[in-house]
Amino acid sequence: MLPANPFDLSGKIALITGGSRGLGRAMALGFARAGADVALCSRKLASCAETAREIEALGRRAMAHACHVGHWQQLEELVATVYEHFGRVDVLVNNAGMSPLAPSSLETAEELYDKVFAVNLKGPFRLTALVGTRMVAAGGGSIINVSSTGSIRPAPHIAPYAAAKAGLNAITVAHAHEFGPTVRVNCIMAGPFHTDISKAWSRGEEFTAQARRTFALQRAGDPDEIVGAALYFASAASSFTTGAILRVDGGLP
């Protein structure tokens, strides 16, 4: 039976990678407003600490940790630190990502290819394995991957990124079966959002004109518009949902 407020996260501990800006920051603050305490990580500790202070201003506990999610040793240190600080993790959000443009397949450097896969696929795979195993031992939890519509609408200039995100879609389903029935694993497939990474193009004339022609909502999203989907997957509201990939993309055809 669902609680009176199935979206309530009171007493829950959330760990969000890439939590200092953009969609990660919006989800972190949204979870805090729903009652959760939040651990944040990104490569830049100062920006994480700033978001952590915003969470504490909402009356919740927060911690900031510097971590490159593409490095497995750093992920092990992250998990150990978060569990030492909070005692458990109830919600994991694999949000950290990078999407550099590739000049062409021939001109894509091996270093660039490896970095894109390390951050977008290798890291989430390992962090889910580490946290998911602990969640099973503790009796349950929710894991949320943040993918991209590029995974189903690939273009030449984002080929490595699109391939990595398609892999993230795949491991969402695989991990749902591996860590079920007590741990749910789902994915938000995000479309274009106005973030500091996308600001160079998401409000530009070319994209705006394209959005009006092709997107049902005719615009990119604001970061706060990802929070509803994240709360659904994080909370008891999605108790019968796992292995799902939810598009939040403004009606991309």
CA distance 161 to 117: 7
Q: If pLDDT is split at 50, 70 and 90, which confidence band does 202 have?
A: low
Domains of the chain: 13-248 (3.40.50.720)
Q: Answer whether residue 41 shows pLDDT above 70.
A: yes
pLDDT in tens, 99-154: 888 889 999 999 999 999 999 999 999 999 999 999 999 999 999 999 999 999 99
Catalytic residue status for 161: yes
Alpha carbon 145 to chain centroid distance?
5
pLDDT on residue 107: 94
- The catalytically annotated residue of 83, 113, 161, 232 is 161
Q: Out of 31-35, 134-138, 214-218, which region has the weakest mean confidence (pLDDT)? A: 214-218
pTM of the model: 0.96
pLDDT on residue 65: 97
pLDDT on residue 206: 78
Q: End-to-end CA distance of the chain: give it in Å, rounded.
A: 36
